[in-house]
Amino acid sequence: MSTQAIVLLSGGLDSVFNLYKACELWPGEVAALSINYGQRAWPSEEKAAKNFSRELNVPFQSLQLSEIFIGDRSSLTSGEQEVPTTQVDIESLTTSQQTAQQVWVSNRNGVLLNVAACRAEMVGAQWIVPGFNAEEAATFPDNSVDFIEKMNACLKLSTANGVQIRCFSQSLYKGEMAQYLVEKGVAMEQIWSCYFAGEQPCQKCESCQRFRRALQSTQQ
């Protein structure tokens, strides 16, 4: 069967949601791509991504791009910076904007989308599927609908087959994604949304806190 879509799969809530939605829309025609850009969480992200790809019988590939990001000063990629934990307040937009600066990785989503588009063009796929969302678009402009639209305009010119971005969560909040996955019977404990790698999520970083709030919303 041909490949219609490549999902950028980190193993976190947003990307797992998009993997399930892509498999619903293009059954048997989805592939997953995970990218190591030097992030602290890579070992645990790759493990989660492989697990969900296996669960859905989706071909999986991982790429090593960490050298591109050597010298990046994000706390996610640099051992010189600490990942925000104690100063996190996900209920405060001002605080979230401040911590977002500390975890910003230089043009990460621009690079990852273009790499995915390259792979998509090679295999004749029409779509690449990232895990963006409305909740984090408030602090990360490269999660926004505007970013997707402008990237799509560029991809029409940079790929021979006009690869486009399709994000099923671009207008959703994390609680809505969590509710969908819970109703699908997904093993939520296998999702890795932590900024760190390890046996268990840290439960302190902003990503962990947003995931925990999303899970709690499904129990109300």
Q: How far apart are CA 185 and CA 83, in angstroms?
A: 32
pLDDT at 63: 97
- Structure tokens that stand for 209 in this block: 């806190």
pLDDT at 96: 72
Tell me which H or E stretch contains 63. strand 60-64
CA angle 132, 133, 134 (to 5 degrees): 145
Query: pLDDT of the chain along its 220 residues, tens only?
Result: 699 999 999 999 999 999 999 999 999 999 999 999 999 999 999 999 999 999 999 999 999 999 999 999 899 998 777 887 767 766 677 777 777 788 889 999 999 999 999 999 999 999 999 999 999 898 889 999 999 999 999 999 999 999 999 999 999 999 999 999 999 999 999 999 999 999 999 999 999 999 999 999 998 7
Taking only the tens place, the pLDDT of each residue in 115-164 is 999 999 999 999 999 999 999 898 889 999 999 999 999 999 999 999 99
CA angle 32, 34, 38 (to 5 degrees): 175
Exposure of 47 in the CB half-sphere (CA atoms within 13 A): 14
Q: How far apart are CA 37 and CA 108, in angstroms?
A: 8
